[in-house]
Amino acid sequence: ATPTAITCALARLNRQGILIKNSQALETLPEISHIVFDKTGTLTEGQFSVSQVSLLSTQYGEAEVLNFIANLERYSEHPIARAFAPYLTEPLQLQQVSVAVGAGISGSWQQRQLKVGSAAFCQLSEVSNAMVYLVIDGEPIAAVELSDQIRAEVPALVAKLQQQGYRLGMLTGDSSEQAEQISQQLQLDFMVKGCSPEQKVAQIQQLIADGHKVLMLGDGINDSPGFNAAHISVAVHSGADLSKNQADVVLLKPDVSLVLDLVAGGKQSARTIKQNL
């Protein structure tokens, strides 16, 4: 490849708000057949708010339940955690707090074992639409529904990428019905919900084993394993520390549709390189 063609392409993409950290990615771009999206913060805004609390026990009231969750969420950097911050009414001295990425948080308070997180993490069966559960001493206490919005630019992005022949899928740790609703609304080609970070990797590896070239798009928050498994990884601007994520490509503006400019840039530089051979 001619270094000047690549340098020009990198500079042009940079002006559009796309930072290519690994220039090999530019050469692989024209071969990509499948684009895999993370849900939270990538297809959606990642700005959660609490929409409903279902009490599963009569032991605690709603305000108390939300205060327990908010106290545990102080230890998490997940976008879900921010939704509970307004409900912290009384700080609790928690002990032995441990955060399980893509799953939840556990800790103890006055000899009681608290767990907040997915149904799988809390070892509970799903309550319709709930994304977060609270368990105390093994007893189910509450199921919380959270709402999040599809990013405004995403429906048009999905349609355009499909017109260009890409197969699009969503891999999400969310196991609620909202995951299905989003996938149906966007008419994605495939979707796997309730994935642990390891299961996301296994899904990507399966696509690769089937002979596909995979680009993974995420917000860079707990996406590193999937990023490493894909041929190309792209992190959407999320306000998170850029140096922390290992993505090949970083979108510098909070606009996922820059992916269209990215794939166009990859194809254009491949043409320029061929002409110059």
Site for ligand ADP in 28-47 (CB under 6 A): 38-40
# chain residues binding Mg ion, by CB under 5 A: 2
Q: Record the tokens describing residue 277, joined without a space.
A: 């051979």
User: By CB under 6 A, is residue 226 in contact with ligand ADP?
Assistant: no
- Nearest distance in Å: CB 34, ligand ADP: 17
Among residues 219 and 248, whose Cβ is nearest to Mg ion?
219
# chain residues binding ligand ADP, by CB under 6 A: 21
Segment interacting with ligand ADP, rule: CB under 6 A, options 4-12, 76-84, 158-166, 267-275: 76-84
Among Mg ion, ligand ADP, none, the one that 81 touches (CB under a kind-dependent 5 to 8 A) is ligand ADP
Q: Record the tokens describing residue 129, joined without a space.
A: 């639409």
Question: CB neighbours (10 Å) of residue 253?
Answer: 12
Q: What per-residue string of b and e applies to 59-73 under the rule 16 or more CB within 10 Å gives b?
A: ebeeeebbbbbbbbb
For the chain, the farthest-separated pair of C-alpha atoms sits apart, in whole angstroms, at 74
User: By CB under 5 A, is residue 40 in contact with Mg ion?
Assistant: yes
Q: Is 227 exposed, middle or buried (0-12, 13-18, 19+ CB in 10 A)?
A: buried
Place of tokens 């959270």: 146
Q: Residue 10 and residue 20: Cα distance in Å, rounded?
A: 7
Site for ligand ADP in 196-215 (CB under 6 A): none
DSSP three-state, residue 58 = coil
User: By CB under 5 A, is residue 148 in contact with Mg ion?
Assistant: no
Rounded CA Rg of the chain: 21
Site for ligand ADP in 86-115 (CB under 6 A): 102-105
- Nearest distance in Å: CB 91, ligand ADP: 18
Out of 66, 116, 186, 259, point to the residue binding ligand ADP (CB under 6 A).
Answer: 116
Q: Kindly list the residues in this chain that would bind ligand ADP in the complex (CB under 6 A).
A: 38-40, 73, 76, 78, 80-81, 102-105, 116-118, 131-132, 172-174, 222
